[in-house]
Homo-oligomer: A and B are copies of this chain.
Amino acid sequence: MSKLYEHGTLAALMAGNMAGTIAVGDLLKHGNTGIGTFDGLNGEVIILNGEVYQAVSDGHVNHVTERDAKMPFASVHFPDKPTPVTLQQVNFDLLNGQFVDDHQLANVFAFLKLSGHFEKVHTRIAPKQERPYPSLLEVAKGQPEFHRQDIDGTILGYYAPDVFGSITAAGWHLHFISDDRQFAGHLLGFSADQLKGDFEIFDTLEQHLPVEDQDYRQSKVDLQSLRAGIAAAEGSK
């Protein structure tokens, strides 16, 4: 079984720690596939085969080749014997319901990647924030959303158990990127007749924390609002 590597926590973003704390080059040592965001919560990141794509809030997609750029939050892994899967009539209801049940994902971390023709894709893209940083929840209230119809692409991301919902997004956290790499974002909704791809269950979460970062060390998290805040900021619809 392979492991999921996560740098930073959504709890830290909720507390306004949005400065980048891991260089892309260092992150890629822990995986060539994954999702994340850049310094200042700048956009939505998709990592595929070691290539890094960043959707920014005006809607365009950067192919990031700089390896010094820093990220405050990212999840990556090296694929290891993923299980092939073909799904029909695919949307979040299917992924959240039957797919989780069929593969008993409720208490494990998992990865899912599905490609094909999407009838509808609904995304949002976090706009870059400046210091003093607001909370993730504040940012989530004013994010540009995008809709596309009839587009070929890939959704990918991770499933986390409910009990980890204070540090990462519980349930599915998926990003989309089109085959032509011109459209991407955090996935809020989608529908597709048929998608093919694979999934993988991890037995280990390697949770890396930015312990050298003074803002992180000193930050205070409001536990009362944390879980609901993460769900509101990162959840699918």
| 197-228 of chain A: CB within 8 A of chain B | 201-212, 216-221, 223, 226-227
**A163 sits at the interface (CB 8 A):** yes
B residues less than 8 Å from A202 (CB atoms): 211
Known: A204-B209, A209-B204. A217 touches B107 (CB 8 A): yes
Interface residues of A (CB under 8 A from B): 1, 3, 9, 11-12, 104, 106-109, 162-167, 201-212, 216-221, 223, 226-227
B residues less than 8 Å from A3 (CB atoms): 206
Cα A226 to Cα B216 in complex, Å, equals 26
B residues less than 8 Å from A220 (CB atoms): 106
Closest Cβ of chain B: how far from A68's Cβ, in Å?
20
Option from B107, B109, B203, B211 in Cβ contact (under 8 Å) with A219: B107
- Contact across chains for B162 and A221 when beta carbons are under 8 A apart: yes
Closest A-B pairs by Cβ, 9 of them: A11-B163, A205-B207, A104-B217, A203-B211, A163-B166, A204-B208, A108-B211, A206-B206, A166-B166
Option from B12, B106, B163, B209 in Cβ contact (under 8 Å) with A226: B163
Most chain B beta-carbon neighbours within 10 Å: one of A109, A164, A210, A218: A164
